[in-house]
Amino acid sequence: MKNPLFRNFTLALITCLIPLSKAFSQDDESIAAAPLLDEEVLPNYHYEYIPDFTYDEIDRRVKAMDHEMAFELNDRVFSFIQYFTVRNRDYTKMVLARKELFFPMFDEMMAKHEMPLEIKYLSIIESGLDPQIRSRVGAMGLWQFMPATGGMYGMKINSEVDDRMDPELSTEAAAKYLKSLYRMFGDWEVAMAAYNCGPGNVRKAIRRSGGKKTFWGIYNYLPRETRSYVPQVQAMLYILNHLEEHNFHPEDPTYVVEYEKIRFDRALSLDKLAELTNLCVADLKTLNPAIKNRKLPESNKSMALRIPRTKVPYIKENLAWLNDSLNNAPTILLASNMDVQSVEELAQEIKQNGTTYKVRSGDVLGSIARRHGVTVTQIKSWNNLSSNLIRVGQTLRINSGMSGNIATTQTNSSGQTTYTVQPGDSLWIISRKHEGLTVEQIKRLNNLNSNNIKPGQKLIIG
């Protein structure tokens, strides 16, 4: 017995004395294939600390929360809290990145309709706060309206515009619908269940439960999807009120762009509007997600467009020129905090008092003069400029009503009055230069099918 034991001990000692090479991860092929280096290779761990809490700890937090809607922790809600804080943290992070885009508006809408603010968390489960998401059955938007239900609440849905993707319109409709369901069932949890599966299924569940009227009372009689629906909403309500405890820190939150609304009352292209105003098409699309093909169609011409607030002064100052360049008749209406005013009224004001233009990057006096149908000399005179130097952000006065002095107007032997198109001219600018002349009259006199004209072209104006 002693000899085998001594032999085993000797073998173990020899094994321990064999020199070993440095270890490497099997996943790291580059290190495995490379010759061993003298420097020590330290492991590089990429992990995220995920706190773990007991049921009782979370229950104490839930009981300490201040909320209007009924909310008690149970095993079902606890399992979804674990799911969104441990197993699917990426979904929660996505929601955190988007919530500042919509939560302030949600709060205003819920307060307006006298509803619990916690209802806003329903949108997280419906859409993940994506206004353009579409379900497999055709539901659309932040609140996942089906076409028939959206139509009931006045939302227009066609091949070019879908109001279900409009954050404000869809949230207003969702608030009205949920309020009507609350009046029907007298319980906000049951109202949310009815929002998901329809009031008919909820009534059926109430009958099968023996007349119980709370969500947990009818829970076992609801469709399977709806049983998970309300607990997920409540799980998100808890999580977004206890982010730090679960090590959630929004890294790249997205904030809403401040905007004002402008109603053009005509069909237009977002690309053309962006080109004329130096706006980003992506910003216009983000602010107006209900427009499908980057074009506001004739069928929805009364729709108000959201314009970044930083560009609103420029649009107001150059309204007449922009309107004509968009190939629209001058009927733009401003739908903001100011009184609604037509372009004809603004045009008259511009003609009498002039307007202003803020210099942008790349501008020179020549391009500004052509754009407004005036001369460089006139701009320098109106602004007391001694040279052609201008700076970005500088405001220039443009006396549009005086620009008619430079027009080339002639009367031929047959009595026709003609006008030679100048650089920067448009049909609208020409009509402003000649009292009583309209764009439609110019087009009719010259057999024009569009508003396109070019410098040097002779137009009959009388």
Which residues pair with residue 306 across a beta bridge? 261
Say whether pLDDT at 16 is over 50. Answer: no
Q: Which of 126, 172, 189, 260 is catalytic?
A: 126
b/e burial code for range 405-428 (CB count within 10 A of at least 16 → b): eebeeeeeeeeeebbebbebbbbb
User: For 148-184, how does the pLDDT look when each residue is reduced to its tens digit (9 = 90+)?
Assistant: 999 999 999 988 999 999 999 999 999 999 999 999 9
pLDDT band at 437 (very low <50, low <70, confident <90, very high): confident
Listed in sequence order, the residues at least 6 apart from 420 whose beta carbon sits closer than 8 Å to its beta carbon are 408, 409, 410, 456, 457, 458, 459
Q: Map residue 243 onto helix, strand or coil.
A: coil
Q: Pick 287 or 461 by higher pLDDT.
A: 287
N residues, the chain: 462
Give the residue ranges of DSSP H helices in 186-311. 188-197, 199-208, 215-218, 224-239, 270-277, 281-287
- The yes-or-no answer on residue 126 being catalytic is yes
In the chain, % of residues over pLDDT 70? 77
Helices 188-197 & 199-208 angle (0-180, nearest 10): 120
User: For 88-138, how does the pLDDT look when each residue is reduced to its tens digit (9 = 90+)?
Assistant: 999 999 999 999 999 999 999 999 999 999 999 999 999 999 999 999 989
Q: Which domains does the chain have, with CATH numbers?
A: 55-246 (1.10.530.10), 259-327 (no CATH), 353-398 (3.10.350.10), 418-460 (3.10.350.10)
Among 7-21, 242-256, 398-412, the range of highest mean pLDDT: 242-256
Identity of residue 386: S
At 461, list the tokens: 């104006």
Q: Pick 302 or 406 by higher pLDDT.
A: 302
DSSP annotation string for 33-89: HSPPPSS---------------HHHHHHHHHH---SS-----HHHHHHHHIIIIITH
pLDDT band at 380 (very low <50, low <70, confident <90, very high): confident
Is the Cβ–Cβ distance between 372 and 403 less than 8 Å?
yes
* Per-residue confidence (pLDDT) for residue 349, from 0 to 100: 47
* Per-residue confidence (pLDDT) for residue 33, from 0 to 100: 37
Average pLDDT, the chain: 79
* Per-residue confidence (pLDDT) for residue 383, from 0 to 100: 85
Q: Map residue 373 onto helix, strand or coil.
A: coil
Is pTM beyond 0.85? Reply is no
